[in-house]
Amino acid sequence: MSTDARGWTMSFNPGRDARFRLVCFPHAGGSAGSFFPLVRAAPPGLEVVGVQYPGRQWRRTEPAVTDIHALARGAADALLAERDLPTAVLGHSMGALVAFETVRLWQQERPGAVGHLFASGSRAPSRPREEDRRARWTDERIIAELRALGGTGDRLISDREALQQALPALRDDYRALAAYRPSPGARVKVPLTVLVGREDPKAGPEHAAHWRPHTDAAFEFRVLPGGHFFLDENAAELLDLVQFSLVMPPHP
């Protein structure tokens, strides 16, 4: 594993034989390590890079950033220094919005750097959100919601020390989500695939089509089995989609 100089990104499987790259943006309260299931399932030649927001894991002593656009700016600056490889971007939940804004920045500063955007488990940028009230919830109520979401939430709750470290980051991310407003008509110019969990109570299949106006290129959505953290149990299928998108980009 290797990190960039400022700690914004970690390459989990760096190597000179990499032919493609997948850059992953984590959910609210999450970290780069949230994508270990994808790393374990990654085929040869696919480098997986996780984005690390300030205020968690090796960046826990840094002040939190409670602005989606500022998170995108930091990630974009760090990733612009990466060596050229055909690249897809994946963002899950809050990470889908940070990824969306990061790709928009790249389009201005390094056209062609990204070949495909995967937005997972998230309502579209233009849709209303409820995180303004979640930032004021008690710890007990936040823990109850994590338990209801299952998957990663269950694993976090079972580790009390990790949970206590994650709660402040989660509140900060809720504030970032509550304050987020996309630019009018904000869209990307790359193909966009929206991934949703069939049983996701936060951003289920009924929300997927709302992403359509946010790309000028090809659009599709896939419904996968599972709840909000459906990526963990569908890693192999997701990676097949990523590889296919980079080898055979879809036509508009």
Question: How many Cα atoms occupy the beta-carbon half-sphere of 59 within 13 Å?
Answer: 23
d(CA 246, CA 252): 15
* Number of Cβ atoms within 10 Å of the Cβ of 182: 17
Instruction: Please tell me the distance from the alpha carbon of residue 168 to that of residue 13, in angstroms, as a whole number.
Output: 29
Identify the band that residue 211 occupies on the pLDDT scale cut at 50, 70 and 90.
very high
For residue 156, pLDDT over 70 is answered with no
Q: Which band of pLDDT confidence, cut at 50, 70 and 90, is reported for residue 73?
A: very high
Token readout for 226 is 């599972």
Query: 27-69 pLDDT, tens per residue?
Result: 998 899 889 888 889 988 899 999 999 998 889 899 999 999 9
At residue 2, the pLDDT reads 61
Number of residues that make up the chain: 252
pLDDT in tens, 95-127: 999 999 999 999 998 888 899 999 999 999 998
pLDDT at position 252 is: 44
State how far the Cα of 91 lies from the Cα of 76, in Å rounded to an integer.
14
Told to judge if 93 belongs to the known catalytic residues of this protein, a careful annotator would answer yes
Active-site residue, selected from the candidate residues 11, 31, 34, 93: 93
